[in-house]
Amino acid sequence: MAMPAIRFDRLGQVFETRSGRTEALRDVSFDVARHEFVSILGPSGCGKSTLLRMIAGLLKPTSGSVDVFALPVTAPRDDIGIVFQKPTLLPWATVEDNVVFPARHKTGRVTAEERGRAGELLSMVGLAGFEKRLPDELSGGMQQRVGIARALLMDPDILLMDEPFSALDALTREVMGFDLLRIFSERPKTVVFITHSVSEAALLSDRVLVMTGRPGSILTEVTVPVGRPRGPETAKDKAIHDLSDYLRDLLLTRHAA
Ligand SMILES: Nc1ncnc2c1ncn2[C@@H]1O[C@H](COP(=O)(O)OP(=O)(O)OP(=O)(O)O)[C@@H](O)[C@H]1O
The secondary structure of 16-57 as a DSSP string is EETTEEEEEEEEEEEEE-TT-EEEEE--TTSSHHHHHHHHTT
Question: What is this model's ipTM?
Answer: 0.97
Residue type, 116: G
Question: Would the CA dihedral through 195, 32, 79, 25 be positive or negative?
Answer: positive
Q: Whose CA is nearest to atom 26 of ligand 1?
A: 44
Name beta bridge partners: 218. 211
The correct answer on CATH 3.40.50.300 for the domain covering 6-79+158-256 is yes
Q: Ligand 1: does its nearest atom lie under 6 Å from the Cβ of 60?
A: no
Q: Which atom of ligand 1 is nearest to the CA of 53?
A: 18
Residue 9 has pLDDT above 80, yes or no: yes
Residue 1 has pLDDT above 70, yes or no: no
Residue 27 has pLDDT above 80, yes or no: yes
Q: Whose CA is nearest to atom 1 of ligand 1?
A: 15
Name beta bridge partners: 21. 16
As a whole number of angstroms, the distance between CA 97 and CA 118 comes to 9
Residue 116 to residues 22, 90, 120, 121, Cα–Cα distance (Å): 46, 20, 6, 9
Question: Would the CA dihedral through 180, 37, 252, 12 be positive or negative?
Answer: negative
Give, as one character, the DSSP assignment of residue 203.
H
Rounded distance from Cα 219 to ligand 1 centre (Å): 18
Share of the chain above pLDDT 70, in %: 98
The pLDDT mean for the chain works out to 94
Give the pLDDT confidence of 58-116 residue by residue, as tens digits.
Answer: 999 999 999 999 999 999 888 899 998 888 899 999 999 999 999 998 889 999 999 99
As a whole number of angstroms, the distance between CA 3 and CA 101 comes to 31
**pLDDT on residue 7:** 98
As a whole number of angstroms, the distance between CA 38 and CA 32 comes to 7
Rounded distance from Cα 210 to ligand 1 centre (Å): 16
Where along the chain do its domains lie? Answer: 6-79+158-256, 90-155
**pLDDT on residue 171:** 87
Model pTM score: 0.94
- 3-state SS, residue 13: strand
Bigger pLDDT: 227 or 186? 227
Residue 256 has pLDDT above 80, yes or no: no
Q: What mean pLDDT do residues 160-187 have?
A: 90
Rounded distance from Cα 45 to ligand 1 centre (Å): 5
Q: Are 118 and 147 in contact (CB under 8 A)?
A: no
**pLDDT on residue 241:** 97
Q: Whose CA is nearest to atom 7 of ligand 1?
A: 15
Give the pLDDT confidence of 105-145 residue by residue, as tens digits.
Answer: 888 999 999 999 999 999 988 899 999 999 999 998 899 99
The 63-68 sheet, strands edge to edge: 20-32, 6-17, 63-68, 71-72
Q: Whose CA is nearest to atom 29 of ligand 1?
A: 45
Give 2's pLDDT tier (boundaries 50, 70, 90).
Answer: confident
Q: What mean pLDDT do residues 47-59 have?
A: 96
Q: Whose CA is nearest to atom 8 of ligand 1?
A: 50
Q: Ligand 1: does its nearest atom lie under 6 Å from the Cβ of 25?
A: no
H or E segment and range at residue 209: strand 207-211
As a whole number of angstroms, the distance between CA 213 and CA 219 comes to 9
Give 257's pLDDT tier (boundaries 50, 70, 90).
Answer: low
**pLDDT on residue 140:** 87
